[in-house]
Structures are given as C-alpha cells and as structure tokens.
Amino acid sequence: MKLTKSTKVVIIGGGFGGLAAAALLSSCGLSVHLLERNASLGGRARVWSKDGFRFDMGPSWYLMPDVFEHFFHLCGEDVDDILPTKRLSPSYRVYLAGNDTPVDMYSDTVRDGATLDQICPGSSQSLASYIRTSKSHYDRSLRSFIARNADTFFHYMTLATMRDGWGLPVLVSMEKHLSKWFKNDTVRRFLAYQTLFLGNAPKETPGVFSAMNYVDFAMGVHYPEGGIGAIVNAMEKLITNAGGEISTTADVVSINVDGRTARSVTLADGRTIDADVLVANADIHHVETRLLPTRSQSLAPPYWSNKRPAPSAAILYLGITGDAPKLKHHTLLFPDDWDLSFSELFNGHSLPTDPSIYISCPSMSDESVAPAGHTNLFILMPCPTGLEWTTDLKNQCSERLFSILEASFGIENVRDRVVVQRFYCGEDFTNDYCAWLGNALGGQAHTLTQSSFMRPPARSRKVKNLYYVGAGTNPGIGMPMCLLSAEMLVKRLFRTGGPGLLNQLPRL
Ligand SMILES: Cc1cc2nc3c(=O)[nH]c(=O)nc-3n(C[C@H](O)[C@H](O)[C@H](O)COP(=O)(O)OP(=O)(O)OC[C@H]3O[C@@H](n4cnc5c(N)ncnc54)[C@H](O)[C@@H]3O)c2cc1C
C-alpha cells in the first residue's frame, strides 16, 4: 500500500507499544487514531492515584536509557529536556532469604565486583570479563537481531548478521552460560534473577540474554522525574503535537475483515472506525482469538495451547505513614530454594511457597509520590498464570504480603500504618488489559522457541494490513523493547532499512 498523509492508521491499545507506534507514525505524517479501552493511557504502565499517593502500577525499572534517548530523538525531542532522569545509587538492594544483611548493587563492575568477592573471593575478576562479553552480546544483538524485522530464520542469512551471530550463546541456557563464569551459586543469582524480567527461568532463557547483565551492571538503573507515568505523558504529548488522535474508554470488540483486508473496528458502544492500516497493541492472544473472525485468525486457539505465558503477579500497592528504612528504591528478596521457586512459578497451580519478592519504593527518590512523612511502595510476588482468584485466595495472598513486609523487610506494624491500599492480581490483568491467562508482562515468556523469529510475528499472516506492536511480538517484553517494536513497525510500513536502528524517521 502506498502511504500518504491521509492513510488512516488505527491503533488498538494505549500501552507502551501502542503509544510508541502512535508517536512515531504520527511524527512520520500519517493520520493516527489510538483507541484505548481504559480511562487512562499506559496499559500495564498505568498510574493509580489516591489521597496524595501516586503509584506507577507496573514497570518501575527504567533500563536501557540509550533506547529511550533514541526513541525521543526520532520524534525530534531531546530526552534530557522532555524526560530528565537520575541514576539511582544504589541501583537496587538484595536480601538473601534468611539473612538480614542487605547487599547493595551499584551498576559499577568494580564496586559490585568487590561486593561479590565477599560472597565468593575471585568473583570480581570474572565479573569484569563477563560484563565485557555481555556488552559485546548487547551491541551485536541490538545491531543485527533485536532492531530488525526478521520473520523467518532466513532473514538472518547475511554475512554481517552471521558475523555478529557467531559465538552468541543462543543454544545454551543462561544458567549454563553463567556457570562457565561463576562457580558460586549465590553469586550466579545476582546475574540470573534478571531472567524474571523476561518472564522466564534462568534454566530456560537463552544465554544470549546475558546482554541484560550489561544493561544492569554497566548502564545503571534510572528514574525519570515524575516516574514511569511521566514517560506515558511525554508520549501522549508527542502524539497530539504531531496531530494524532487519542480516544480512551474506547473498547474494541471486533475487527471487521473483508477478504484479506481489515476495513474497520467496532467499539463496545457500537461505533465503527474505519482503518487503512490496523495496528494491534492489545495482547496478541486477545486480538487473534477474540477480536478477529475465525477465518482471519493466523494464531488460532490451538497455537496457544503449547505456548508458555510470562508469569502473572500479585501486587499490593500501599501508602503508609512513616518510613521503611530497610528498603531502597528497588529491593529484591531472593528465595531460599531457587529451583523450587522457578518451578512453582512455571509449573505450579497455587501461590508459590518460596517466591522471589520485589518491592518498589519510589518515595525513596521522589517526594511527589507520597504526602510528606509517608511512604509509597508496592510489593510484588510473581505467581503462576491461570490461578482462580477467589476472595479467599486474594485475602490469603494479601495477608502473606503484609507478613513478608514485616518479617523480611522490617516494616513494623505495617497493617496499622496503611493509608491507602489496593490488591491487584491475575484476574485484574485479564479484566483491565485483556491479558492472556492474566500474564503480567504482556505475552509469551522468552524461552528459546518463543524469542526472535519464533515469537508471534509482527504482522498477521491472514490480514494483510494488520500489524502487531508491544511485548507480545518482537523484540519482546519490557518498555524499551516495546519502543523498538514500534520502530520496527515504521521500518516495515515504509519498507526502509535492514538491521539496526533508524537514523531518522521517514516523513511524508
Ligand atoms: C508489575 C509489572 C512490573 C513490570 N516491571 C517492568 C520494569 O520494571 N521495566 C520494564 O521495562 N518493564 C516492566 N514490566 C513489563 C512492561 O510493563 C510491559 O512489557 C509493557 O508495559 C507492555 O506494554 P504493551 O504495550 O505491550 O502492553 P500493554 O501495556 O498491556 O498495552 C496494551 C493496551 O491495550 C489495551 N487493550 C487491550 N484490549 C483492548 C481492546 N479490545 N480495545 C482497546 N484497547 C485494548 C489495554 O488496556 C492496554 O492499555 C512490568 C510489568 C508489570 C505488570
């Protein structure tokens, strides 16, 4: 299709993927209309505010600042102007189960190496060379694999790509890859926990995702002024400034297909909106199995039966009086039985007995998220998908999270100090975002067979003007990846560029 300024692009979903696509495509000069079913934008990265507390409901780790900088640059903005960030120090704190002494990590290989030496002497030397190798994995992956539209293995068959791919640990697991460098179990956990960000276990995540270790240990963990919600607001502004239209409480209930072309979408209120190009940011499972007519589904229900979703999560958002001195902005609790914890998460059918725990406490760095003298935090426990969240289970889980706050993080009398509280679980992910089996991260876990060209494709095979963006397709899970998925859509629509990032946007 020849794109012109009057080509109507309709985007289903205002999560990170949809917002990024709308910002880029409207900046290119296309006529963009974004439809979001919820009353506010951001999807899993929405904001919830109550009684002076402001919670980023989902993502809290601003990683890969290079990708954000590049995205805003493409839209003609300097990220430092539009979204000033600070680098957190420490980046995060870790508690090891049964041990009250915290371990602080600074995204500084020298300082963190010295910390890991205290756990196992000699770790610092391995860390330095390991992170150098991870940097090479990061650079090569970004250049040849991540920022590329590859629908089949054969798209990688170029000399430059094969050179970049040579020696990348694709066929070994993160766990095996790490064990070549680090002999100590505990030390390895500091480099393996990041696979949870990819919705997977270290045993089943390809070793090439060691690129994440470079991101964590060298690039640092940042915090945008105003929190993650500020990124959503910045993207909204980009869209409207470029002439794009945004409708919230616009719940798409069907995609209307004529032959092999999507012509329009129908909303729950009965309105029909015409489209020349349709971009879906909602979970691909929902789009393929609920919004498309059966004959137009290229990923029909049987496809999903043997796919592994990223895990779900139970989250307790709390505004409390006083402080929580044992926490940092990001605090993790590593489980005692590492293998059991992952096996319960991916194979279990009930609340995990020995879970990993994450606490986000942005009031440590940002006084605007809580009234003076108060703490804003959420505690998150990864959970298996598909649980039946009865009232009993919700109460049981929420009580457990309160107990963990007291026992493992020293937040005394936390129940009595609550000012605002909200419990959120798999059922909410499904009801709010139409999430497949209540998964928290936006799609399939990053196993070997669910990554790269084996992930759901970014284009429907049966409807020629239907494209996908967001965590469900390539490159995958996480805010930076969603931004890149939108850039890959631009490359696809404008038939521009092979591997690598765009230098500038094509403009009509
Ligand atoms: C608790 C939590 C912590 C996380 N932590 C991090 C982190 O620290 N760093 C990081 O980078 N990532 C993190 N992630 C992952 C990251 O948030 C997601 O990968 C990313 O936000 C997914 O964005 P998306 O655009 O693919 O999907 P979504 O955010 O789900 O957006 C899809 C949108 O489509 C809308 N929609 C669905 N169906 C319809 C319909 N029929 N009509 C109209 N609209 C529809 C939904 O309401 C939603 O707004 C976290 C996620 C969670 C939940």
Q: How far apart are CA 30 and CA 275, in angstroms?
A: 12
CB of 312 sitting under 6 A from ligand 1? no
CB-count burial class (<10 Å; 0-12, 13-18, 19+) for 349:
exposed
pLDDT at residue 407 in the model: 95
CB-ligand 1 contact for 251 (6 Å cutoff): yes
Q: Which two tokens stand for residue 235?
A: 């993207």
Task: Tell me how far apart the 2 most distant CA atoms of the chain are, in Å.
Answer: 66
For ligand 1, whether the C-beta of 316 sits within 6 Å is: no
Residue nearest to atom 48 of ligand 1 (CA): 43
Residue-by-residue pLDDT tens, the chain, 508 positions:
899 999 999 999 999 999 999 999 999 999 999 999 999 999 999 999 999 999 999 999 999 999 999 999 999 999 999 999 999 999 999 999 989 999 999 999 999 999 999 999 999 999 999 999 999 999 999 988 888 898 888 888 888 888 988 888 889 999 999 999 999 999 999 999 999 999 999 999 999 999 999 999 999 999 999 999 999 999 999 999 999 999 999 999 999 999 999 999 999 999 999 999 999 999 999 999 999 999 999 999 999 999 999 999 999 999 999 999 999 999 999 999 999 999 999 999 999 999 999 999 999 999 999 999 999 999 999 999 999 999 999 999 999 999 999 999 999 999 999 999 999 999 999 999 999 999 999 999 999 999 988 999 999 999 999 999 999 999 999 999 999 999 999 999 999 867 889 999 999 9
Q: Which pLDDT score, from 0 to 100, does residue 292 have? A: 98
13 lines ligand 1 (CB under 6 A): yes
pTM of full prediction above 0.85: yes
Residue in 175, 40, 187 with CA at minimum distance from that of residue 113: 187
pLDDT at residue 164 in the model? 86
Torsion of CA 375, 380, 381, 387, to 10 degrees: 120
Helix (H) or strand (E) holding 33: strand 31-35
Q: Rounded to an integer, what distance in angstroms lies between the CA atom of residue 372 and that of residue 369?
A: 9
Per-domain residue ranges of the chain: 8-83+225-306+448-493, 119-219, 308-433
Cα of 101 vs centre of ligand 1, distance in Å, is 34
145-203 residue pLDDT tens: 888 898 888 888 888 888 988 888 889 999 999 999 999 999 999 999 999 999 999 99
pLDDT at residue 228, as a whole number: 98
Q: Which fold has domain 119-219?
A: Guanine Nucleotide Dissociation Inhibitor; domain 1 (1.10.405)
Can you give 100-131 as a three-state secondary structure string?
Answer: CCCEEECCCHHHHHHHHHHHCCCHHHHHHHHH
pLDDT of the residue at 16: 98
Q: What is the pLDDT of residue 154?
A: 80
User: Hey, what CATH topology would domain 308-433 get?
Assistant: Guanine Nucleotide Dissociation Inhibitor; domain 2 (3.30.519)
What 8-state DSSP symbol labels residue 444? B
Q: Is 249 left (phi over 0), alpha (psi -120 to 50) or beta?
A: left
116 and 181 in contact (C-beta within 8 Å)? no
pLDDT for res 83: 95
State the Cα–Cα distance between residues 175 and 187, nearest whole angstrom: 12
Which of 36, 41, 44, 71 is the pocket-test mutation for ligand 1 (most atoms within 8 Å of CB)? Answer: 44
What 3-state class would DSSP assign to 57?
coil
Establish whether residue 475 lines the binding site of ligand 1, counting it when its CB lies within 6 angstroms of any ligand atom.
no
3-state SS, residue 429? helix
The rounded distance, in Å, linking the Cα atoms of 143 and 500 is 5
Give percent above pLDDT 70 in the chain: 100
At 265-320, the pLDDT tens digits run 999 999 999 999 999 999 999 999 999 999 999 999 999 999 999 999 999 999 99
Which ranges of 30-120 does DSSP label H, i.e. alpha helix?
65-74, 79-82, 109-119
* Ligand 1 nearest-atom number relative to CA 13: 34
Quick check: 338 and 189 in contact, CB under 8 A? yes
Give the C-alpha separation, 508 to 498, whole Å: 20
The CATH number for 8-83+225-306+448-493, chosen from 3.30.365.10, 3.50.50.60, 3.40.50.2300, 1.25.40.340, is 3.50.50.60
Nearest alpha-carbon partner for 264 in 122, 465, 124, 80: 465
